[in-house]
Structure 1
């Protein structure tokens, strides 16, 4: 019977998102399996959009260890649960959300930089 109120779902979703962010942060700051190396990237004036895709990166170095990976996956699962709960409450399916996003990305083509 929990998670019936949209306010409860929104606040729990925000909490789950914070916990997921914290899990990734702890992988960097406590475990050290991930490292962040971020700096301003120079963009040549003659660079095309395709060139920019190759110039940009995630700023991450390393890989999640098995312990951090399990924790992050667990927190992502909670995020998905609350997203699904919000969809159900609003009468939207996750499939609708994904289909609309795929259409947007497909329409953007090279501009999506994925």
Structure 2
């Protein structure tokens, strides 16, 4: 991704994104369309990740039972694995980013339709994470 575009994008906030979504959402304005589009893009994200493993091979999954025998939460955090090996190639990364972007679009559309502020949700979740820290355990 072009570094100039990347720097510009860091200045976009959730409220601006939600407002832009509201301005451009025409065809799938119905709540029914929005929630089914969220499901569709969730599946497309999953498919893109799986294709990175099965078609491209830039990443692989080596899943094993997680061991929860650590004495402290910090040790436990360090010992748990993502089961991913390798790195996404540029093509796969771009595809996954594209699908996540579309998902975020419909998530913002859902918030707008329900008159919920996406920024407030993000800030509340951040505050919960900050307050509870490791004890949030998601």
What TM-score, normalized to structure 2? 0.76
**Number of the residue aligned with 2:31:** 6
Instruction: Write the deviation string for residues 12-37 of structure 1: whole angstroms up to 9, x where unpaired.
Output: 11001101110000000110001111
Q: Does 1:86 align with 2:101?
A: no
Distance (Å, rounded) in 1 between the aligned partners of 2:66 and 2:48? 27
The runs of 5 or more residues in structure 1 that have no matched partner are none
- Deviation track 1:56-104 (CA, whole Å, cap 9, x = no partner) reads 1211111110110111111011100000100110111221110111011
| Alpha-carbon distance in 1 for matches of 2:108, 2:123 | 15
Q: Is 2:62 the counterpart of 1:48? A: no
Once the 2 structures are TM-superposed, how far is the Cα of residue 106 of structure 1 from its aligned partner?
1.3
1:10-29 correspondence to structure 2 within 5 Å: 10-29=35-54
Q: Paired residue for 1:69, among 93, 107, 111?
A: 93
8 Å contact 2:67–2:80 — kept in the other structure? no
Total equivalences in the alignment: 113
CA contact (8 A) 2:59 2:84 kept: yes
Q: Is the 8 A contact 1:87 1:93 kept in 2?
A: yes
RMSD: 1.5
Q: Tell whether the 8 Å contact from 2:66 to 2:81 is kept in structure 1 after alignment.
A: no
Say whether residues 1:100 and 2:100 are aligned partners: no
Conserved in 1, the CA contact under 8 Å of 2:38 and 2:103?
A: yes
Whole-angstrom CA distance in 2 between matches of 1:67 and 1:33: 10
TM-score (norm 1): 0.91
**Structure 2 unmatched runs, 5+:** 1-25
